[in-house]
Amino acid sequence: MKIYLDSIIKRDPAARDKISVILTYPGVKAVFFHHLANKIWNYKFYLIARMISQFSRFLTQIEIHPGAKIGKNLFIDHGSGVVIGESAVIGDDVTLYHGVTLGGISPSENSEDQRNSKRHPTLMDNVIVGSGAHILGPITVGKCARIGANTVVLKDVPDNSTMVGNPAKNISTNTDTSFKPYGVRDIDGN
């Protein structure tokens, strides 16, 4: 827990101390409830797991399907409106801002054929996804990629890329893997 809270304080200049992060950050609560729901989901108690995830959604306005696989230190900043689908996979040290969707591309078509298949994206380690972005389908977003606000991603994203627009376009490849929120660079262009 200490490492998780430290990772949030490192990424959020508004985070003052661990106790305020625990008590006031909806993303922290959503991740906690997801870990509980995911354990129950893996024991095949699907209804109970879904009830926990819906309770979490009620409290936090963040919907994480209990079947989603989430790595260490996921930070959901602000969080309202975040949706993470059942077959989504999220690596370590990923940051999501409010309104992000990790969804499928055709959920109402041939539902029976889609059941138990990979329908949602995979985000590798150290990805940052800006507010309102939609990453849709069974695609992979590479390590240290940055997805700009309101970007719509429908195809695989290479490592270290900065994607913006609808449809998403790669505007930059950067080998600097340090945390840079919002895809912003410093004055020197780094």
> What pLDDT does residue 36 have?
98
Token representation of residue 84: 């993470």
Burial 78-89 (b: 16+ CB within 10 A, else e): bbeebbbbbbbb
Residue 78 has pLDDT above 80, yes or no: yes
| Between 47 and 176, the higher pLDDT residue | 47
49-74 tens-digit pLDDT: 999 999 999 999 999 999 999 999 99
Residue 135 has pLDDT above 50, yes or no: yes
> What pLDDT does residue 109 have?
66
For residues 148 and 6, give the distance between their C-alpha atoms in angstroms, rounded to a whole number: 25
> What pLDDT does residue 105 have?
82
* Domain locations along the chain: 2-182
The CATH classification number of 2-182 equals 2.160.10.10
> What pLDDT does residue 187 have?
44
